[in-house]
Amino acid sequence: MANLTSTFVGIKSPNPFWLASAPPTDKEYNVRRAFEAGWGGVVWKTLGEAGPPVVNVNGPRYGAIWGADRRLLGLNNIELITDRPLEVNLREMKAVKRDYPDRALIASLMVPCVEEAWKTILPLVEETGADGIELNCGCPHGMSERGMGAAVGQNPDLIEQITRWCKQYTRMPVIVKLTPNITDVRLPARAALRGGADAVSLINTINSITSVDLDDFAPEPSIDGKGTHGGYCGPAVKPIALNMVAEIARDAETRGLPISGIGGVTTWRDAAEFLSLGAGNVQVCTAAMTYGFGIIKEMTAGLSLWMDRKGLSSVEAVVGRAVPNVTDWQYLNLNYVTKAKIDQDKCISCGRCYAACEDTSHQAIWMKPGRVFEVNDAECVACNLCVNVCPVEDCITMEKVAPGALDERTGKVVPAEHGDWTAHPNNPMARAAE
Amino acid sequence: MTNSPQTDGIVAGRLDDATLAAHFDDLYPILDDHEARVAADRCYFCHDAPCITACPTAIDIPLFIRQIQTGQPDGAARTILSQNILGAMCARVCPTETLCEGACVRNEAEGNPVEIGRLQRYATDGLLLANEHPFARAPETGKTVAVIGAGPAGLSAAHRLAMLGHAVTLYDTRTKAGGLNEYGIAAYKAANGIAQAEVDWLLRIGGITVKTGQALGAGLTLDGLKATHDAVFLGIGLAGVNALNVPGEDLPAVQDAVDFIETLRQTGDKASLPIGRHVVVIGGGMTAVDAAVQSRLLGAEHVSIVYRRDRGAMSASDYELDHAATEGVSILTNAMPVAISAAGVTFAYTRSGPNGLEKTGETFTLKADQVFKAIGQTLKGQPDALKTQGGKIVIDAAGRTSVTGVWAGGDCATGGEDLTVTAVAQGRDAALDIHRALCP
C-alpha cells in the first residue's frame, strides 16, 4: 500500500488532500466533519482584522454552469472572507487543532497592506496552534475593491512586502495564495519567493460571469437585477491551474519552491496530475461543495491504488515527475510525425471526424460509400481534432510514422534525430550548427 | 364489476374502471424537461445523419434534437412539423426501431439509440398542447383542390396545399377526420384524444373545409370532383379486409380486428366493451398485435396471436411483438386456421415447401370464444379509371396517378410501406407537385 502521508513545508498530514480556504472550512462544525470523513488538512476560511466582520450579500452568492445532466462543471462565487468574528474563528480553530493534532490546520489571512495589521493578527493565529498561514492574495471580488485579495496578488511588490512582514512576525510557515487573474503567474510567485515565502498555492478563482438572465438581462448570480464578476472554480478551471502550477514548477527562479495545487481537483486522477506537475499537495473545494466530504474516500483510495500500480511508494515520488516534460514550444520535436488512424471495428460511422476535418481543418478524412471514414495520410497534419471530437474512446489514434518512412504529406523521409524550431531553416534566429 | 377474466363467453366489465383506465393510458409518458435534455445530449449530431435518411419524411433529426438540448423545444417542433405535419402522432406510432432509431449510430456504439421518438413527442406535444400553430398560409391562389380521405396522407396533403394558398376541401366517409390515427391504432398509443387534438390543431392553418360522411361512390365521383376542382388527391386507404375462407368464419364470434380496434377507440367507457375469455387473433401485423394486446388489457384471460408463417415473416416489429409478449399474449407461428367452431379454432401446422407454404398434416385446436381476423386490408372503392397494380393505385415519385389531374398517396397507393409516416410523406410530396402543376 502506497504511503499517502504528506509533509508540506514541514506540515504533516495523513494524506495530501487539504480543503481549500472557502465555505467548507468556515467553522468548527464543518471542519470536524471534514476530518471525520478523512481529509488530511484544512485551510480555514480567510480571517480578516478584528472588529466588525465583513458582510455578505443576502441574495444568491453562487452561480454555475452544468452539463446536460446537471453535472456541475464550473462554479462561481461572490462570497467574501469569513463573516464571523475573528475571536470566534480563533477559538474554534484552537479547539479543532487540539482534537485533531495529526491533521494540518492552516489559517488563511487577509488584512490591509499595512505592517501593523499583519503584526497584530499573526500572534493571535499562532496562539491557536495552527500549523501555518496562507496569505489570501487571490480573492477576486469585493475584497479586491478594498485593496486586498487579488488587488495585492496583482501587484508583485505588495506580495513581497506582506510576505516579508509575515516571515518577520511569525515562526509559522507562510504560503502565498496566488490569483490567476494576471498575465504571467511567475511574477507574483517570484515576488513571494523574494519575500521569503515557504510556498505558494494556486490558483485562486478566476474572474467570471457564469451566465446572463435573458429575461432580465442581468448577469448571474444576480442580486436584485444586478450582478458582479465572481470567482470561477471547479472542473472547468483545472487546465488553467495545471498550466500555472507547471509554469512555477519549471521557472528558473522559482523551481523548487513548494506549491500547493488548487483548481478543479475532483478525483484522484486530478490530484495525481497536479502532483506530477510539481504540486506538493492539493487543495479541494468545489468537489466537496458538490458532493460532500465523502469524496475524500475515492480520492485517497484512488491515489493509493494508482501509486501501487505505478510502483510509487510515497507522495514525494510522484511530485514533479512530469515537470521535466513541460517545455517551450520551440523545443518540441518537429521530426515527430504522426497520422490519425481510424479503427474500423470501433467506428460507429457518426461522421463527426469527417465534418470537423472537412469543414474546419485539413480535408484529410475521406467519406466513402457506406459511411466508411478513412484518413488520407497525404493531407493529415496530425492535428488531433478528429481524436478529440470522436465519441468513441480509442477509435481514432495517432500513429507514429517510423523514422526512415515517407511522410506522404510532405513527401519527405521522417528523420530519426530530434529537430526543433531552434535549428529549423525557416527560423531566422536559428542557431548555426555546431 | 360482475365479471372477471375467468368468466366464460364474451362479456363486458372483466376489470374494474381504475385498472382499465391505467391499461389504456399512455404507454410511455412524455419526457419531462430534464429527461429530454439528458436524452437530447446523447445525440452526436452526425454528419449527413443516417436517421434523416431513414425517416420517410426526412426530418432534420439532429437539428431538432439540438434545439431541444439548447432549451427551445418549440423551435424543435417547427423543424419536425415543417417536414411532417403529423409529427405528434408519428412520434407515437412510428416503428422507430426500424426507422430513425434503427439507423442511430448509438446502436453501433452501445446498442442503445437516442430516443428520437420520445424526443419528437416531447417537442411536438409542447406546441400542440399550447395550441400554437407555427405556419401561416401564403396568399390565396384561387385554385381549389379536393382531398379524398382525411387520414394521414389526406391531412398532410391538405395542410401543405392550404399552406401554399390553395383552397382545400377535405372529404371523409367517417364522422371524424384522422383516418387510421383516429380509428385504427391502439388506444394506449393515442391516449388523451391526441389524434383529434392534432387534427384540430392542423386545421388551424385555415383554408381547409372538412366534409365528413362523403366518399367516392357514396355521393362523390372522380369525374364530379375533377369538374369542380383544379386537382384531386386520393388518400382513401385500404377500406376492405381479407377473408379467411375457412368453415365457421361466419360465426358471430368471428370479427374483423379493425372493427374491434375502431370500436375500442371510439368508446369512452372501456368497461362496457365485451371481450372473450379465450381470444384468438389470426394474423401477423400491427393490427393483430393491437387487437391482441387490447384484448388482454380489457381482461381476456388467454390471448393468442397465430400466424401462418414464421416469426421473421411477421410484419409486426420485434418491438411490438415483445410488447405483446410482455402483456401476456402468446405468439404462435407456422399455423394456419382450417376450421372455426363454437369450441375454438383448429389450426394446421405449416412449413415452407417447394410450392410455398404447405401443411405438415398435424393440427391442434385453441379454445376460443372470440376470434379476430387481422390478415390484411385491401383497396376498396377506388375509381375504375385509375391504374392499379398489386392492389394499389399506381403513382409516380411525385404522387401522380394514371389520370391527369389526380394524385394519390398513403396506404391506397404504391410506393413505400404502409406506415403513417410514409403516408404523410406522400401526401406532402403530392401537394408540392400539385402546387407546381397549378402554379407553374
Q: What is the predicted pLDDT for the residue at A431? A: 67
Separation in Å, CA B307 to CA A122, A210, A232, B321: 89, 61, 65, 12
Mutate to test the interface with A, among B47, B52, B107, B114 (most CBs of A within 10 A): B47
A380 is catalytic: no
**Within a domain: residue A12?**
yes
A290 residue type, one letter: T
Residues A66 and A195 in one domain: yes
Please give the share of chain A, as a percent, with pLDDT higher than 90: 94
> Where is the domain boundary, A303, A325, A347?
A325
Domain spanning B17-23+241-376: CATH superfamily: FAD/NAD(P)-binding domain (3.50.50.60)
Asked if A274 reaches chain B (Cβ–Cβ under 8 Å), the answer is no
Contact B47 A391 (CB under 8 A): no
Residue of B nearest to A391 (CA): B44
Burial of B208 (0-12, 13-18, 19+ CB in 10 A): buried
Mean pLDDT, residues B354-368 taken together:
95
> Where is the domain boundary, A291, A325, A359?
A325
Separation in Å, CA A425 to CA A141, A202, A328, A381, A420: 49, 40, 19, 20, 10
Contact A348 B47 (CB under 8 A): no
Name the residue range of residue A194's domain.
6-325
Residue of B nearest to A390 (CA): B44
Question: Which residues does B190 contact at the CB level (< 8 Å), separation at least 6?
Answer: B89, B92, B93, B181, B182, B265
Min Cα–Cα distance to chain A from B289, Å: 33
**Within a domain: residue A87?**
yes
Mutate to test the interface with B, among A213, A348, A354, A395 (most CBs of B within 10 A): A348
**Average pLDDT, whole number, for chain B?**
96
Contact B41 A349 (CB under 8 A): no
Residues A373 and A229 in one domain: no
Contact A68 B37 (CB under 8 A): yes
Could you give the number of structural domains in chain A?
A: 2
Pick the CATH number of B33-129 from 1.10.1060.10, 2.40.110.20, 3.60.21.10, 3.40.190.10: 1.10.1060.10
Asked if A67 reaches chain B (Cβ–Cβ under 8 Å), the answer is yes
Residues A191 and A56 in one domain: yes
Min Cα–Cα distance to chain B from A353, Å: 9
Taking only the tens place, the pLDDT of each residue in A399-428 is: 999 999 999 999 999 999 999 999 999 999
Residues A137 and A169 in one domain: yes
Q: Sorting pLDDT into bands at 50, 70 and 90, what band is A149?
A: confident
Closest C-alpha to A26, from A51, A40, A44, A50: A44
Residues A378 and A289 in one domain: no
Mutate to test the interface with B, among A66, A213, A215, A350 (most CBs of B within 10 A): A350
Residues A213 and A140 in one domain: yes
Mean pLDDT, residues A270-287 taken together:
98
Mean pLDDT, residues B239-261 taken together:
95
Contact B106 A348 (CB under 8 A): yes
**Average pLDDT, whole number, for chain A?**
96
Contact A367 B105 (CB under 8 A): no
Instruction: Say which DSSP state A218 is in.
Output: E
**Within a domain: residue A238?**
yes
Q: Sorting pLDDT into bands at 50, 70 and 90, what band is A432?
A: low
Min Cα–Cα distance to chain A from B108, Å: 5
Q: What is the predicted pLDDT for the residue at B125? A: 95
Residues A260 and A143 in one domain: yes
Q: Sorting pLDDT into bands at 50, 70 and 90, what band is A138?
A: confident
Residues A298 and A382 in one domain: no
Q: What is the predicted pLDDT for the residue at A150? A: 87
Question: Domain coordinates of chain B in residue numbers?
Answer: 17-23+241-376, 33-129, 144-239+379-438
> Are B17-23+241-376 and B33-129 equal in CATH topology?
no
Q: Is the pLDDT of residue B360 over 60?
A: yes
Locate B395 and state its grid cell: 403513382
- Looking at beta carbons, which residues of chain B come within 8 Å of A345? none
Architecture label for domain B144-239+379-438:
3-Layer(bba) Sandwich (3.50)
| CATH code at position A411 | 3.30.70.20
Taking only the tens place, the pLDDT of each residue in A319-370 is: 999 999 999 999 999 999 999 999 999 999 999 999 999 999 999 999 999 9
Residues A279 and A351 in one domain: no
- Looking at beta carbons, which residues of chain A come within 8 Å of B34? 70
**Within a domain: residue A143?**
yes
Q: Is the pLDDT of residue A433 over 60?
A: no
Taking only the tens place, the pLDDT of each residue in B282-313 is: 999 999 999 999 999 999 999 999 999 999 99
Locate A299 and state its grid cell: 480520492
Taking only the tens place, the pLDDT of each residue in A23-46 is: 999 999 999 999 999 999 999 999
Mutate to test the interface with A, among B61, B66, B105, B112 (most CBs of A within 10 A): B105
Contact B48 A350 (CB under 8 A): no
Residues A80 and A205 in one domain: yes
- Looking at beta carbons, which residues of chain A come within 8 Å of B41? 67-69
Taking only the tens place, the pLDDT of each residue in B422-433 is: 999 999 999 999
| Residues in chain A, overall count | 434
Residue numbers of A between 391 and 420 with CB closer than 8 Å to B: 391-392
Contact B44 A391 (CB under 8 A): yes
- Give the Cα separation of B20 and B7 in Å (integer): 17
Min Cα–Cα distance to chain A from B51, Å: 11
Residues A308 and A350 in one domain: no
According to DSSP, the β-strands at B144-148 and A412-413 are unpaired
> Where is the domain boundary, A280, A297, A325?
A325
- Looking at beta carbons, which residues of chain B come within 8 Å of A355? 47
Contact B38 A69 (CB under 8 A): yes
The one catalytic residue among A137, A139, A166, A353? A139
Residues A32 and A158 in one domain: yes
Mutual orientation of helices A238-250 and A268-276 as an angle, nearest 10°? 20
Q: What is the predicted pLDDT for the residue at B132? A: 86
Contact A68 B38 (CB under 8 A): yes
Locate A370 and state its grid cell: 457506406
Separation in Å, CA B52 to CA B45, B46, B99, B151: 11, 10, 9, 24
Q: Sorting pLDDT into bands at 50, 70 and 90, what band is B1?
A: low
- Looking at beta carbons, which residues of chain B come within 8 Å of A351? 46-49
